[in-house]
Amino acid sequence: MNPRHAADDPSALNTMMRAARAVFLDVASLGSDVDLTGLTTACNTLRCFDFTAQAQLAERLHDANVVICNKTPLGSDLLSKASALELVLVTATGVNNVDLYSAAIHGIEVRNCRNYGTDAVAQHTMTLILALHTRLLDYQRDMAAGAWPQAANFCLLEHPILELAGRRLGIVGRGPIGRKVAELARAFGMEVVFAQLPGRAAGPDSMPWPELLRRVDVLSLHCPLNEATEHLLDAAALAAMRPGAMVINTARAGLIDTPALIAALRQGHLGGAAMDGLDVEPPPSGHPLLDSSIPNFLLTPHNAWASRQARQRLVTQTVENLQAWRRGEALRTVTASR
């Protein structure tokens, strides 16, 4: 019997759980302060590696029937040769590092984690919005340069400070994160509207995309990156926004046309922008968005999701996914979309 399907017999599942000979390919991606006890207990055997290079994959997978990874690429060539592999557990929501079509062909299940970072990403989003409105980074730079002791006034007022109350926030994406950001923004007195993208049905508090671009003071992106949303904010969309508007992206970098964003900031059309993450990670040292001279632009290193609590929830959900699979139950299974 094919080992990938040895436990597909319901009668076998009644008498025994599937074995889990697991390997965690990039455990360091979760940080050193998470508790892996539950994961260790849930496996028959577990080998952990901080990171795994492509050249090391075949050796590390050769006898594992369960692979756990965050961002390590698992392509079709590797999956076709991993004869023992039955399950891939992704410690993230996005599974673009796994060739889902190849996994399906070879009978390999893929399961992911979901909604573990809602509070963390929403909190980070509001942090970025507040930092832009208070010009926090600019004033911190002034302080580091010794501007306050040399000032004639008792305070520094070189950069305009804006209140959130009364400002209109447009949100793209009505999922858990988008809704949580809306809740927090309303607590600051902001008016919140959701984007109705082309081809999508109108919802409560929604506004058609072209109108929303013209009317919001702040635009926050919380939608998936796909063919329909790639470069959603291109040069034309950015030009349609009201002068002084701000853009926040704690989703995927590819939602925004990078050169167009930089131009809109340098030309003074946008009042500010903030992003968590780039299109290449870690980025090359010469990446254009690493230029500190871009005015009122904040960039964080793809860690909006990474509160300690959120990372521990990743472990918890991974354990749940593994235990359910060992019992022959479906939970957070991901399949190819075409």
The answer to whether 60 is a known catalytic residue is no
Place of tokens 């632009």: 297
| Radius of gyration from C-alpha coordinates of the chain | 23
| Partners of 218 in beta bridges | 169, 246
Candidate list 252, 313, 326, 332, residue with the active-site label: 252
Work out the angle between the directed axes of helices 136-144 and 118-134 (0-180°, nearest 10). 60
Candidate list 158, 163, 183, 281, residue with the active-site label: 281
CA angle 159, 214, 260 (to 5 degrees): 65
The DSSP annotation for 112-139 comes to ---STTHHHHHHHHHHHHHHHHHTHHHH
The answer to whether 21 is a known catalytic residue is no
| Cα gap 49→36, rounded to integer Å | 13
The answer to whether 86 is a known catalytic residue is no
**Both tokens assigned to 279:** 């299109």
Candidate list 114, 287, 302, 320, residue with the active-site label: 302
Q: Which residues are catalytic?
A: 252, 281, 302
